[in-house]
Structure 1
Amino acid sequence: MSRSWLSELRNLIVNSLERSWLPFPTDSDLCESWKKGLDSNPSGPVLYTSCLYHLAPVIEKAVENLERFGVTEGGLRGRFAAVAAKTVGRLILKPEGEEVDRADSVMRRIYRLLAQRGIKVRLLDREIYSGALLYELGFEKEFAEYAKKVATFFKERGVKEIITVDPHTHYILEKVYPRYAPDFDVKISSYLDYIKGTGVALKGFAIHDSCLYARFLDRYSLIRQILSPGQPVEDPYYTGKETAGCCGGPIESIYPDVARKVASLRVNDLSKLSKDVVVQCPICYVNLKRAAEGRINLHYLPEILTEATA
């Protein structure tokens, strides 16, 4: 691994966060369109996206660009990778319109599922990234500085309670922020905690669990309770809480070849259970999609849920 590459990757993320609160250079309004026409309750819990569903296709595009420069190799290829990072840092990464529309649809579905249960959420004036990637890639000093900025952002807006929509954001806010941002005193819950009793518009699918939800955030059984009407196909090894394979993330921006190999193994396991696979995490979606090669169809969990039946 080229040290110059890691340095440039860190600079890319930090500089982008400073410019737009987003970890990659993209349209600063990328994460805002889903809120159009939706009511916001000033006294309700904040429905916080951390932009992750909208960033998923941006991450995919960035990894595709960087992978061509051999970011995992040393020597000349490693130096090319550092040049690539600088180049990507100057570009505006534009995801496909259909992927942005899909992210909008997922977030609006979560909003409606909560509304059906009487939870009137507050929508922020802008969506900002949590900084999870900095922490997960080991850029601890930079993460600590950014976390304090995010904590201040929430405090200035009087945020007391947050409902998260993905495992990386939930884990970083609940388990990590209190250690790095002493003033961060916000109640954290997940949209999953509120949507029991939904219908499921798909049958016989496999579940790909988020490692964070299943093993560190105690949502493994809850997710199965939510998805049980769809009669998911389970296997004690392939979908077991402690034995299910990883998607390969979030190392795709450092070791894209390793992430792809891990994801390919996971796709192979899941394809033995069903052609349809339900994921709970945008990072899992990105990595499994890159390795799918037509073997599986990926569905975000909110996409297959219908209106409450009770």
Structure 2
Amino acid sequence: HPWRGTALERTTWMNDFEDVPMFDGSQEYLYWVGCSGSLVERNLPITKAVFRLLRESGASFGVMGQEETCNGDPARRLGNEYLYQILAAQLVETFKAKNVQKVITNCPHCFNTFKNEYPQFDGYFEVFHHTEFLNDRLRDGSLRASHPINADVTYHDSCYLGRLNGVYDAPRQILEMVPGANLTEMQRNLSKGLCCGAGGGNMWQEEIGERRVNQVRSEEAIRTGASQLISNCPFCIQMFEDGVPAVQPEEEGRIRPFDIAELLEDAVFGPDSQDEQPVSAGGTSA
């Protein structure tokens, strides 16, 4: 993987919880945390939020912990097809050995790779992005967003969830069910939304040109007047964490990037609920 850290650090997010269920083939879903969700400090709260919401919904799920490996997406985007194929073949074999059939991901890059590219390696799995799964749980009553957020928000469609996979409605339906979340769309949205600047391996390359894409997109979000910039992708969140301060230097009144799972966590548990950790994760392993 291209991130900092080793397999031993993939489980540091679990320190806030007791009894995190490990996937053993008996659960319905594998919750795939991914490299960014486990190794990038900014994205650990997203992983924790999704975990808490999955547990609250009563889903039968487990995680792989230190057995997770990179799925190969960055290698393929950066042109190392040989490495990608090795990583993909190994992970497909691991999934089959563990009887993985359904996968929930934080990351649209993982989502796209598992859903659309692993079938080339005889890896056929039912794959859900967390926005799809959580939206369904809100709609069937398994989750209830009862705590008001009372914030003006704008929403950024990540390329891998939106244009590549057509998932536009689920995130917006979640926002509609969050009390007090007032959505103002950016001028470029849905299929015409602008990339955050991380796509195609550009997360790890120096951008050439007068303007950085993440700064241009950050400006578009700021123009909506929203206080929160909501997305669905850890790559996008990282790009906005860099882009927003560059174009909005004053910290007071600055728009703040969040994953939609972080917003929903506050709406389901209350904005101060993170202070209640550690908590038991019991009841999710069967």
> TM-score, normalized by length of structure 2?
0.76
With a CA cutoff of 8 Å and minimum separation of 6, indicate the structure with the bigger relative contact order.
Answer: 2
Count of residues in correspondence between the two structures: 240
Q: What amino acid sits opposite 1:287 in the alignment?
A: M
Q: How far is 1:116 from its partner?
A: 2.2
Mapping for residues 167-178 of structure 1, pairs under 5 Å:
167-178=108-119
Unpaired segments ≥5 residues, structure 1: 1-21, 58-98
Q: How far is 1:125 from its partner?
A: 4.2
Judged with a 3 Å threshold, the aligned counterparts in structure 2 of structure 1 residues 125 and 27 are, in CA distance, closer, same or farther, namely closer
Structure richer in helix, relative to its length: 1
Judged with a 3 Å threshold, the aligned counterparts in structure 2 of structure 1 residues 185 and 248 are, in CA distance, closer, same or farther, namely same
- 1:161 aligns to what? 102
Q: What amino acid sits opposite 1:234 in the alignment?
A: E
Is 1:288 matched with 2:240?
yes
- 2:37 aligns to what? 53
Retained in 2: the 8 A contact 1:52–1:129? no
Distance 2:38 2:32 in 1: 13
Distance 1:307 1:246 in 2: 30
> TM-score, normalized by length of structure 1?
0.70
Q: What amino acid sits opposite 2:268 in the alignment?
A: E
Match of 2:159 among 182, 201, 211: 211
Mapping for residues 211-250 of structure 1, pairs under 5 Å:
211-228=159-176, 229=178, 230-235=181-186, 237-238=187-188, 240-250=189-199
Distance 2:128 2:162 in 1: 15
Is 1:191 matched with 2:130?
yes
Q: How far is 1:138 from its partner?
A: 2.4
Q: How far is 1:288 from its partner?
A: 1.8
- 2:228 aligns to what? 276
- 2:76 aligns to what? 135
Distance 1:259 1:164 in 2: 35
Retained in 2: the 8 A contact 1:280–1:300? yes
Unpaired segments ≥5 residues, structure 2: 139-143, 270-286
Retained in 2: the 8 A contact 1:260–1:287? no
Q: How far is 1:270 from its partner?
A: 0.6
Distance 1:130 1:39 in 2: 22
Match of 1:103 among 34, 43, 46: 43
Distance 2:210 2:116 in 1: 25
Distance 2:211 2:72 in 1: 23
Match of 1:121 among 61, 71, 74: 61
Retained in 2: the 8 A contact 1:50–1:169? yes
- CA RMSD between the two structures: 2.4
Q: How far is 1:141 from its partner?
A: 2.3
Is 1:307 matched with 2:261?
no
Judged with a 3 Å threshold, the aligned counterparts in structure 2 of structure 1 residues 25 and 35 are, in CA distance, closer, same or farther, namely closer
Match of 1:253 among 168, 187, 204: 204
Retained in 1: the 8 A contact 2:108–2:161? yes
Q: What amino acid sits opposite 2:243 in the alignment?
A: A
Distance 1:245 1:257 in 2: 17
Judged with a 3 Å threshold, the aligned counterparts in structure 2 of structure 1 residues 168 and 259 are, in CA distance, closer, same or farther, namely farther
Retained in 1: the 8 A contact 2:33–2:105? yes
Q: How far is 1:272 from its partner?
A: 0.3
Q: How far is 1:194 from its partner?
A: 2.4
Retained in 2: the 8 A contact 1:117–1:194? no
Higher mean C-alpha deviation, range 281-290 or range 32-41: 32-41
Distance 1:247 1:267 in 2: 8
Judged with a 3 Å threshold, the aligned counterparts in structure 2 of structure 1 residues 219 and 151 are, in CA distance, closer, same or farther, namely same
Secondary structure, in 3 states, of the residue corresponding to 2:99?
A: coil
- Greater C-alpha Rg: 1
Secondary structure, in 3 states, of the residue corresponding to 1:162?
A: strand
